[in-house]
Amino acid sequence: MAITKEIMVERIEVVGGWNVQVATDTIIKEDGAEISRSRHRHILNPDSNISKEASEVQAVANAVWTDDIKAKYKTWKESQEV
């Protein structure tokens, strides 16, 4: 009886122009048959450290976060701190 745990990136979405929303599923299997699945979501902003994200998440973030988007995000964030 082998129990395994697998974490898969199920969805990557760009929300609000610069947020990258990531949905990951944790799948527990017993002898190859799925017995449990749970979903976790998190949001990344242009100032997030993405070095530990999956390669496909990094690719999307790097494509979306142009210098122009980073500047707009910085301006927006500074306006929220007032």
Nearest-angstrom CA–CA distance, 25 and 41: 9
Read off the pTM: 0.83
Nearest-angstrom CA–CA distance, 27 and 36: 6
Nearest-angstrom CA–CA distance, 3 and 33: 9
Nearest-angstrom CA–CA distance, 15 and 40: 17
Position 38, amino acid: S
Quick: pLDDT tens for 30-78. Answer: 999 999 999 999 999 999 999 999 999 999 999 999 999 999 999 999 9
